[in-house]
Amino acid sequence: MPNNLTIALDIMGGDYGPRSSLPAAVDAVNSIEHLTLILCGNERLIRTELDKRGALTHPRIHIQHCSEVVNNDDKPSLALRNKKDSSMRIALELVKSGRAQACVSAGNTGALLATAHYVLKMLPGINRPALISSVPTQTPKPVYLLDLGANVICDAQTLFQFAIMGSVVAEQAQNLTKARVSLLNIGAEEIKGHECIKEAAKLMQACPDLNYIGYSEGSDIFTGKADVIVCDGFVGNVALKTCEGIAKLIFHKLNKALNKSIFYKVLALLLTPVLKKLYKRVNPDQYNGASLVGLRGIVVKSHGNASEKAFYAAIKEAVREVERQLPEKIQHKFEQVLKNSAAEK
């Protein structure tokens, strides 16, 4: 029997707010028996929506009223300073106080990062939190890509720490003994890239606790040659969103090509289930949440314009991370790396 677990949801965040987060919450408690949810947001709004879905008195749904909402265009520093009763902030405070074991939000990424960093604090020895997500590959296993936008500039030590955190995530999620870690660069040769990348490569190469396999290029991300690919948050964000863009372009062009004659229109109709499934699978931002790692608590970021299904997937991701005790595992790995590097000296 799995242990009971409690997750705090920022119901107000994201482009659709409660419209996508609330139905997802109701689905989640209905399908995951040991899950309790604390819905953070405007109580009246939440009550109305729960009532509509016949879930107002659900024994595993609790409401935590919050008077403020962090908007998508709020500056992170101002959201942190001025919106102390926001649904995002309160959901994070619930994790901090131990009332919840994880938090899920589809809100403003910058504000979530800044607030999570401030409220939860970093695990010992880790410089910066990173956003990590899995991306499909040509093999049955996905690749974990980080950082996806938490840090626009990263030094070599930070990239090295990302490699360690990414390894733990991939190993836990995919049952690997030693995740293959690669650094994203603009060429496979050792001479390529800027100094920071080269320095990070040296750190990874020298660490006996990492299975570092060298550089990857953008085209290698999806081949399955690595389990973890590390890059700074600017590059990772552009790479992830470029995937989203090109996937849309391909399906747009395919649709157009299949609309050119009655013959192809019929083919298109027959192909619809295959294409729909494929589109979801190659558009990672749509089907799962990115996780913030390196913090003393679990925070899952759902896509800003996440549908009900995507928000549900983010809740499930949070459940899995609680079950895997991800922050504890990351902390343990860092202690081990530190011990081994001290023993070497």
Q: What are residue 323's DSSP bridge partners?
A: none
233 binds its own copies (CB under 8 A): yes
Q: What are residue 182's DSSP bridge partners?
A: 229
The site that binds its own copies (CB under 8 A) totals a number of residues, namely: 57
- What mask of x and - would describe binding to its own copies in positions 137 to 176, judged by CB under 8 A? xx----------x--xx-----------------------
Q: What are residue 143's DSSP bridge partners?
A: 135
Q: Kindly tell me the number of DSSP H helices and DSSP E strands found in the chain.
A: 12, 11
DSSP conformation class of 179: -
Is the Cβ of residue 9 or residue 221 nearer to its own copies in the bound state?
221
Count of C-beta atoms within a 10 Å radius of residue 5? 17
CA-to-CA separations, 192 to 33, 186, 277, 289, 314, in angstroms, rounded? 51, 6, 37, 32, 36
User: Which one of 245, 265, 332, 338 is in contact with its own copies (CB under 8 A)?
Assistant: 245
278 binds its own copies (CB under 8 A): yes
282 binds its own copies (CB under 8 A): yes
Q: At what angle do helices 156-174 and 308-324 cross, to 10 degrees?
A: 90
2 binds its own copies (CB under 8 A): no
238 binds its own copies (CB under 8 A): yes
Separation between Cα atoms, residue 300 and residue 293, nearest integer Å: 9
Q: Are 82 and 71 in contact (CB under 8 A)?
A: no
107 binds its own copies (CB under 8 A): no
201 binds its own copies (CB under 8 A): no
75 binds its own copies (CB under 8 A): yes
For residue 147, is the peptide bond before it cis, meaning its omega torsion is within 30 degrees of 0? yes
Runs of H (alpha helix) within 260-307: 262-282, 284-287
Is the Cβ of residue 5 or residue 268 nearer to its own copies in the bound state?
268
Residues 6+ apart with CB under 8 A from 251: 275, 279
Q: Which stretch binds its own copies (CB under 8 A): 8-16, 81-89, 120-128, 130-138?
A: 130-138
Shortest distance, CB of residue 198 to its own copies, whole angstroms? Answer: 11
Hey, is 108 helix, strand or coil?
coil
Shortest distance, CB of residue 289 to its own copies, whole angstroms? Answer: 17
User: Which one of 104, 132, 230, 243 is in contact with its own copies (CB under 8 A)?
Assistant: 243
257 binds its own copies (CB under 8 A): yes
User: Which one of 33, 51, 85, 217 is in contact with its own copies (CB under 8 A)?
Assistant: 217
User: Which one of 252, 265, 332, 339 is in contact with its own copies (CB under 8 A)?
Assistant: 252
Under the phi-then-psi rule, with left for phi > 0, alpha for psi from -120 to 50, and beta for the rest, what region is 2?
A: beta
41 binds its own copies (CB under 8 A): no
Total count of residues recorded for the chain: 345
* Closest to 231 in 3D by CA, of 330, 337, 132: 132
242 binds its own copies (CB under 8 A): yes
Query: Which stretch of DSSP H or E encloses residue 192?
Result: none
Is the Cβ of residue 24 or residue 229 nearer to its own copies in the bound state?
229
344 binds its own copies (CB under 8 A): no
Is the Cβ of residue 3 or residue 138 nearer to its own copies in the bound state?
138
Is the Cβ of residue 184 or residue 300 nearer to its own copies in the bound state?
184
265 binds its own copies (CB under 8 A): no
Query: And the tokens for 299?
Result: 């925070």
Shortest distance, CB of residue 322 to its own copies, whole angstroms? Answer: 29
Shortest distance, CB of residue 251 to its own copies, whole angstroms? Answer: 8
Separation between Cα atoms, residue 132 and residue 26, nearest integer Å: 26
Separation between Cα atoms, residue 11 and residue 237, nearest integer Å: 25
Where do contacts with its own copies occur on this chain (CB under 8 A)?
73, 75, 110, 136-138, 149, 152-153, 184, 186-187, 189, 191-194, 217-223, 231, 233-235, 237-250, 252-254, 257-258, 263-264, 267, 270-271, 274, 277-278, 281-282
